[in-house]
Amino acid sequence: MRRPLAAALACVFAIVAPMAARAGADEPDPRAVQALALTMYHEAKGEGRKGMLAVGWVVLNRMADESFPKTVQEIVYQGCQFSWVCNGEAGPPTERGAWRQALALAERLLKEPPADPTHGALWFNGADVGHTVLGDKIAASTQIGRHLFYARADRLPRPQRKPYGAVMWASR
C-alpha cells in the first residue's frame, strides 16, 4: 500500500513543485517593492491612490526608457532624482495607512500595472513650482493632484487636425 501512495505523492509533487516555483518567480523583488513604495509614499502620500500611482509610473516609465537605469533601486537612488532621496530628511514612514497603501500599490505596479495616468511621464514636480522649462522636446503630459508630469513631446498624443468643413462650421 505504501508504494502506490508514495508514487501518487511523488506525481503530485512533480506537478505542484514547478507551479510553486513559477509563482515565486512572478513575485516582485522585495527590495524593488520597498524602494518604489518609499518613493510613492514620500513624494505623494498626501495625494492618495491616484497620486501615488502616478509617481510610481514615473519610475516604471524610466525603467522602460533607454536613458535611465533598468532597476527600481537604480532609478530611485540615482543622484537627486527624487526629493526624498536628495534632501535626506525623509526618514522612515510614519503614517501607517499611507505606508500600507504605498506598499500595496508598489507591489501591484510591479506585478500587474494598471493603466498609466501620466501618459508616459518621466519627470514631475510640484504644481506650486509651476511649469518647468525642460526644452522643446519635453512637454507637460498631465496634472494629478499637486504634481505636474512631463513626458517626451514626441511620445505624447498629438491633437488631431479638424477637417476643413468642421472648422468652417465652427467659425460661423
| pTM (2 d.p.) | 0.75
Q: Which three cell numbers stand for residue 83?
A: 526629493
Question: Which pLDDT band, with edges at 50, 70 and 90, does 20 fall under?
Answer: very low
- Summarised one tens digit per residue, pLDDT across range 114-143 is 999 999 999 999 888 866 667 778 888 999
Q: Quote the distance between the C-alpha of residue 21 and its chain's center.
A: 26
- Ordered by where they begin, the domains of the chain are 30-155 (1.10.10.2520)
Beta strands in 60-155 (DSSP E): 123-126, 138-144, 147-152
- Summarised one tens digit per residue, pLDDT across range 136-166 is 788 889 999 999 999 998 887 765 444 544 4
CA distance 65 to 81: 15
